[in-house]
Amino acid sequence: MRVSVFRKEHFNAAHRLWNSKWSDEKNVEVFGKCCNPNYHGHNYDLVVQVTGEIDPETGYVIDMKILSKIIREQILRRFDHKNLNADTEEFRQLNPTAENIVVVIYNILRPLLDDRLELKIKLYETERNYAEYPA
């Protein structure tokens, strides 16, 4: 009787898409306006999905207050109102595409949750572009 619960949080960040091993021309050709040297930015909507058995004492899969606190301390404090490329260790070398961001967030949160719980991360870069991991 496994149930998924979902918690949606929000952060704002600047980023640019960039492969430092490529020439400027190649970067512009592949990433277009997304590689603007002075960055652009997004309101990121983050949905953290946790799946497990319902605890019969609480009726919870996981206490959403605790889950929300973990997300705020581990993810929002790290990325909110930051420049992903310039201000964070995670994306100094790694291109901050939505795909890479969901994997990074998964890897930060996974060790902090009980092993019996499954984790899935969905990130809306805009209303029209989003990514999910694991697929």
Q: Interface mask (CB under 8 A) for a second copy, residues 76-95, using x and -? A: ----xxxx--xx------xx
Catalytic annotation present for 125: yes
Q: Does residue 24 touch a second copy according to CB under 8 A?
A: no
Catalytic annotation present for 34: yes
CB under 8 A, 24+ apart: contacts of 70-75: 70/109, 70/112, 71/7, 71/9, 71/46, 71/109, 72/9, 74/108, 74/109, 74/112, 75/9, 75/11, 75/46, 75/105, 75/108, 75/109
DSSP state of 55: P
In the complex with a second copy, which residue's Cβ is closer, 24 or 81?
Answer: 81
In the complex with a second copy, which residue's Cβ is closer, 8 or 73?
Answer: 8
Catalytic annotation present for 35: no
Least distance to a second copy, CB of residue 24, Å = 16
Choosing from 34, 99, 118, 132, the catalytic residue is 34
CA distances from 107 to 16, 84, 101 (A): 22, 16, 10
Least distance to a second copy, CB of residue 31, Å = 8
* Total Cβ atoms within 10 A of residue 68: 15
Q: How far apart are CA 1 and CA 42, in angstroms?
A: 37
Residues forming contacts to a second copy in the complex (CB under 8 A) are 1-10, 12-15, 17, 19, 30, 32-34, 36, 38-43, 51, 54, 57-61, 63-65, 80-83, 86-87, 94-100, 102-103, 118, 126-135
Q: Which residues are catalytic?
A: 34, 81, 125
